[in-house]
Structure 1
Amino acid sequence: MSIDFTSETKTEQKKQVTEYINKVLGLIEKEEVTEEEAAWITKETVDGFRENVNPGFLAYRKTVTEGGQFAAVEWSDNGACFKDVNGKEYIDCLGGFGIYNVGHRNPKVVKAVTDQLKRQALHSQDLLDPLRAMLAKILGDITPGDLKYAFFTNSGTESVEAALKLAKMYGERTTFISTTRAFHGKSLGSLSGTAKGMFRKPFLPLIPGFRHVPFGDIDMMSKTFEVCASVGEDVAAVIIEPIQGEGGIILPPDGYLKQVRELCDQYGALLIFDEVQTGMGRTGKMFAAELYDVVPDIICLAKAFGGGVMPAGAIVAREEVFKSWFENPFMHTTTFGGNPLACAAAIATIGVLIEENLPERAAVVGEYFLNELKKASEGHEDLVQEIRGQGLMIGIEFHKDEIGYDVSKGMFDHGVLVAGTLINSKTIRIEPALTISYEEVDKVVSIFKDVLSNIKA
């Protein structure tokens, strides 16, 4: 029941709310909490999700809530790990679905955000904010090819929305090609490109003009271009993840992305790379586009873009494409996109990635991780179907969902957080911080091997 703060009869309720707020703020202020405080936090968290957030979350993550353990009430983090409210430490191999590329609470990123916060948190919206200009310049320097102009967002789905609108304005075409197993977000335009039926059905009809073709099937892509052209529904853009993340860590066939680029050039369509999950060093290069020697017309970024400290995203586009927004820069805007705190975080993040050679490190450590996981799965072919990946973006595919759930729960019980892709655990992902140590990798592999030994097909 909501409180009527204008009524004198609600004085006691107002007092209770104020006391509750002060208690919460007092706990935030603490570096350590007592056992009694941890129990209170856990109860309030579970009750709050049940009564005021969404009770579905309590049942959804089977690996961390089974048996009422609720150890998933996280409280602090550092490096490649986080701790729950009871002080138990976990190696984070989920990484916020790819957020923590430079590690949890990277000190350089935290410092940049804290320093900016001391001076100005958000901008006036009217004057020119310097960090947005500086970050855009940096992105122009580090992104592939002639990508130049940046627009800043708060999340991956917002980056995709911006890319779709920019593509529509560029050529006034309305047809888009996406792929099966694609995940581009859940806002209306992004969801139109996403391929998961259970997320789409409740919101149909979505944005018209989207066609889906099998990922990796260049012949079907070519035929779709041809058909669209023949019926006067010319393709505005192809939107594609260079490596599919939520689809199950699916790598493209050799030469596939170059062939997609050639088709786009042939038919005058744009190529949009959704690098929300693959970007910022995850795959062994700063951007996965570099792995495949393909330059898109628009690249979408988010997740790790804010360094695991601030929500931040961006699109970067070629001048020829972006200039349709020159005449009226208010055609697409966002209040908080490109705010000073987010820009400070992104600038520091890029600095850390470059200075510490983290993309290159992801390639080397990722290869080691992948090979060790494959060795650990030997003799368990009845459980494990395939282990694949690129850099520190690894997928372990099992023969059925139930095995994935059991493995995820077993690893969580032993201090390693992993998770399935999208809504199942047939494939679980390994996306740790790019700073993860070899010792931590070995520990994860050892736990994975032990857990497999205790599971029956």
Structure 2
Amino acid sequence: MTPHLTPQADPAKGAAVKAADRAHVFHSWSAQELIDPLAVAGAEGAYFWDYEGNRYLDFTSGLVYTNIGYQHPKVVAAVQEQAGKMTTFAPAFAIDVRSEAARLIAERTPGDLDKIFFTNGGAEAVENAARMARIHTGRPKIMSAYRSYHGATAAAINLTGDPRRWASDNGSAGVVRFWAPFLYRSPFYAETEAEECARALQHLEDTVAFENPNSIAAIILETVPGTAGIMTPPPGYLAGVREICDRYGIVLVLDEVMAGFGRTGAWFAADHYDVVPDLLTFAKGVNSGYVPLGGVAISSAIAETFAKKPYPGGLTYSGHPLACAAAVATLETMAEERIVEHAAHIGEHVLGPGLRELAERHPSVGEVRGLGVFWALDLVRNQETREPLVPYNATGAANAPMAEFAAACKRSGLWPFVNMNRTHAVPACTVSEAEAKEGLAILDEALSVTDKHVVG
């Protein structure tokens, strides 16, 4: 461990930070009196540390967004330089750093997605993509998949397919849900990837037909679903969805908020599947969240809709100069340091093989899925029946096995990404081979906890 990564203990300051948090901060997705947030003292690269002197290898990348790692000096310097030059300016003006960020993003997006609408994050990107699709087509409905997450704002939460939607499920008029492919827990009784692909496409086309194709503005998919379980689509599926959209004049929206900017070992996950959407949403890895930024990459056809007709949407901080400066530095640094290629290497040669090796040793691991630095372990009570280790959306005592697993990881210095019956391995794209192997070793030890809950 290099000296600058050595955490210095300061429990008194940590207690003060925690006290102020508990007195004034209202946390998302939480019962406020039942949580105990860790007071974080610092972070660098793939690690962060607390005020007690404990250091953690972050296998969550924050919320899967610090693709370039914490405190990358080139990005920090770019934000500092921009703050000295122009801290902020209204979005209606042409600003050099905003234009350059848009150019660099458009340079990397697939196909003709050359116009960039900036937002403050991923949910706002989905909101605006939905609005663009509805206005462009003049149709009201948008189709989205179960096992998906698209954000927590009004339209985005109703497009979301996981249980976080339920408490806000009062604006779903105009939303039609369908099953996307997932062979390990196939809703189509498929036994091969080819069967799963064909049946999922038939199911989607049948749903389109019964909903009236002329009423459907868009189909939105996470190119590789993230929080829902990192289910890579079978070969041919996304191309088949593209064909259905083309046949019925439906806008294809790919949500790359989590999967984009190197996470899958490509600039965008769509690059793996040779599919070009009409709209592509992004955030997170575009600048590793150093300053909040998201956006929509827009095709020429949809951009033309608003060439002479005003687009009815906007944000006060759209294309904020500090956020755009962070994006420019991030994208340039990722190219210079070949970080996308490094993420692909780590996935192919370290994380993928290492996680599959864990699956061979641990009966609680049902399946390993992923690519790049974007992996999931599906944990089960029985490998033959594939019964999840904990019930769907489990809480309290029902979720104890996963809570025990997470605690074991943290005791050994790994901060895990745990969701339902899964743990995800999603470190920074800059994670070294040694750091990735450190994480695998801790997972190996912690999985002995989940193995105790295996039956049969």
* Shorter-normalised TM range: 0.7 to 0.9
CA shift, 1:34, in A, is: 3.6
CA shift, 1:349, in A, is: 1.0
TM-score, normalising length from structure 1?
Answer: 0.85
Contact 1:156 1:276 in 2 (8 A): yes
1:392 aligns with 2:358: no
The one-letter amino acid paired with 1:379 is R
Q: Could you tell me which residue of structure 2 aligns to residue 191 of structure 1? A: 157
1:201 aligns with 2:166: yes
CA shift, 1:207, in A, is: 4.3
Contact 1:144 1:289 in 2 (8 A): yes
CA shift, 1:369, in A, is: 0.9
In 2, distance between residues paired with 1:96 and 1:79?
12
Within 5 A, what are the aligned runs for 1:133-152? 133-152=99-118
TM-score, normalising length from structure 2?
Answer: 0.85
1:434 aligns with 2:429: yes
The one-letter amino acid paired with 1:413 is R
Q: Could you tell me which residue of structure 2 aligns to residue 412 of structure 1? A: 410
CA deviation vs aligned residue, 1:240-273 (integer Å, no higher than 9, x gap): 0011111111111221000000000111111100
Q: Could you tell me which residue of structure 1 aligns to residue 272 of structure 2? A: 291
Q: Could you tell me which residue of structure 2 aligns to residue 41 of structure 1? A: 17
Q: Could you tell me which residue of structure 1 aligns to residue 3 of structure 2? A: none
CA deviation vs aligned residue, 1:253-311 (integer Å, no higher than 9, x gap): 22100000000011111110000000001001000010001000110001111223111
In 2, distance between residues paired with 1:388 and 1:124?
43
CA shift, 1:33, in A, is: 7.1
In 2, distance between residues paired with 1:336 and 1:413?
40
Cα RMSD after superposing both structures: 2.0
Contact 2:359 2:366 in 1 (8 A): no
CA shift, 1:58, in A, is: 5.6
**Structure 2: 5+ residue stretches without partners:** 1-6, 182-199, 381-388, 391-399
**Structure 1: 5+ residue stretches without partners:** 1-30
Q: Could you tell me which residue of structure 1 aligns to residue 443 of structure 2? A: 448
Larger radius of gyration: 1
Q: Could you tell me which residue of structure 2 aligns to residue 112 of structure 1? A: 78
Match for 2:202 among 214, 219, 239? Answer: 219
In 1, distance between residues paired with 2:234 and 2:92?
47
CA deviation vs aligned residue, 1:73-107 (integer Å, no higher than 9, x gap): 11211001111122211100011221110111111
CA deviation vs aligned residue, 1:219-246 (integer Å, no higher than 9, x gap): 111112222336xx43211100011111
Report SS of the residue matched to 1:331.
coil
Contact 2:48 2:58 in 1 (8 A): yes
Q: Could you tell me which residue of structure 2 aligns to residue 16 of structure 1? A: none
Match for 1:325 among 296, 299, 306? Answer: 306
In 1, distance between residues paired with 2:309 and 2:108?
27
Match for 2:89 among 123, 126, 135? Answer: 123
Report SS of the residue matched to 2:252.
strand
Deviates more, 1:236-245 or 1:355-364: 355-364
- CA 1:440–1:58 in 2, change beyond 3 Å: closer, same or farther? farther
- CA 1:124–1:244 in 2, change beyond 3 Å: closer, same or farther? closer
Contact 1:132 1:338 in 2 (8 A): yes
Q: Could you tell me which residue of structure 2 aligns to residue 18 of structure 1? A: none
CA shift, 1:35, in A, is: 3.6
Q: Could you tell me which residue of structure 2 aligns to residue 11 of structure 1? A: none
Report SS of the residue matched to 2:360.
coil
Deviates more, 1:326-335 or 1:133-142: 326-335
In 2, distance between residues paired with 1:262 and 1:85?
54
In 2, distance between residues paired with 1:454 and 1:246?
23
Contact 1:103 1:308 in 2 (8 A): no
